[in-house]
Structure 1
């Protein structure tokens, strides 16, 4: 099922640079650039709240209507964040055709519970929260569902086990780990193992120290004989 491409408006930026970018952000707009397809890049600004809403919903492709110009179909290519990594500072848009193939990162949506997670001390870890895939622009999924219950009694789920939408293929190795389960030992078991290693709490003998003491005694005897 094809979805209608969301549309947003943009304004050309006549001036670029840090100072002007800061002014835009204070006014609730984000600086952005549109490039690709052997056309000149265009510096624009977009409404911050509008673009963040689209990004939050997993939107990858947009139709941007540039004020005083035409409309362009673009792919969200890169987001630049502030030094704390918690706010978007700049957006890169790449011109695309809906039928061309692109490589994109798509968020993973986890559901279900693996049986092994019910065992004592089990910890479920997601090694991936997004997956790099290759597909046509008009087939980019908003998210990729991952049913953890297919893990069964096992402790690992790999890329090969994820059911991808039609026309979408993974851009990473099929044996790459998506999620895994590890187990922590009970406190009493850990204490028992420590007791086996050092039951009396003594430290291992350091041979080099013993030799050093012996050498010191020999040196003392030599000094005494000379005196």
Structure 2
């Protein structure tokens, strides 16, 4: 993943009021820490930060007040629940060659339009250990040629060079199952409707007693 250059400024005001003023000025409050250093409070450019954080595990090259840049990964991102804007970011310092543990999305490729089967994702993401400068945007799972009953486990994934999966090799990622027939769907709907009718009738019977 390419490094995203971000120019930050040191932050000397703290508290909710200061944070609101920073956001009105198009800035995002953030804190940078790690590798035994004291936390450094900074303000990041809002638009650039929003664009950078669209990618999972974005590798940021942050220069504070024009100093030498240092690499960092977003540890925690707080977003406005309505507007979706970034309100605060916790950043952890990383070094070149250092291995980090991150969650990476799983993306399915090679899916076909066969109506008789369904791809069941047992995991939406996978935890891997990878070099901080070589974190993939996603891990692809190619389902081309897979049939009903087939499955993909962690050991079947193609990870970037140097990356490892710390879990069990047989941990299930996805499986291919048979799609339900219309008769099965109708039967489940009828069963659910019958259960609702019994539940509704129960209070009435209790009152009549």
Max radius of gyration: which structure?
Answer: 1
- Please tell me the TM-score bracket, short chain as reference: 0.7 to 0.9
Q: Deviations over 1:161-193 (max 9, x none)?
A: 111111011133333332234445434356679
Other-structure match for 1:127: 122
Q: What RMSD in Å do the two structures reach over aligned CA positions?
A: 3.0
Does 2:152 align with 1:154? no
Name the one with the larger helix percent. Answer: 1
Other-structure match for 1:177: 172
Distance 2:187 2:106 in 1: 41
- Larger displacement relative to structure 2 (35-44 or 145-154): 145-154
Other-structure match for 1:61: 59
TM-score by length of 2: 0.76
Report how many residues are paired. 191
2:183 to 184, 188, 197: 188
Q: 1:74 to 1:184 in 2, by over 3 A?
A: same
TM-score by length of 1: 0.71
Q: 1:133–1:171: 8 Å Cα contact kept in structure 2?
A: yes
What SS is found at the alignment partner of 2:133?
A: helix
Other-structure match for 2:137: 142
Other-structure match for 2:94: 96
Other-structure match for 1:214: none
Q: 1:189 to 1:11 in 2, by over 3 A?
A: closer
- Superposed displacement of residue 106, structure 1: 1.9
Q: 2:106–2:124: 8 Å Cα contact kept in structure 1?
A: yes
Other-structure match for 1:112: 110
2:16 to 4, 18, 36: 18
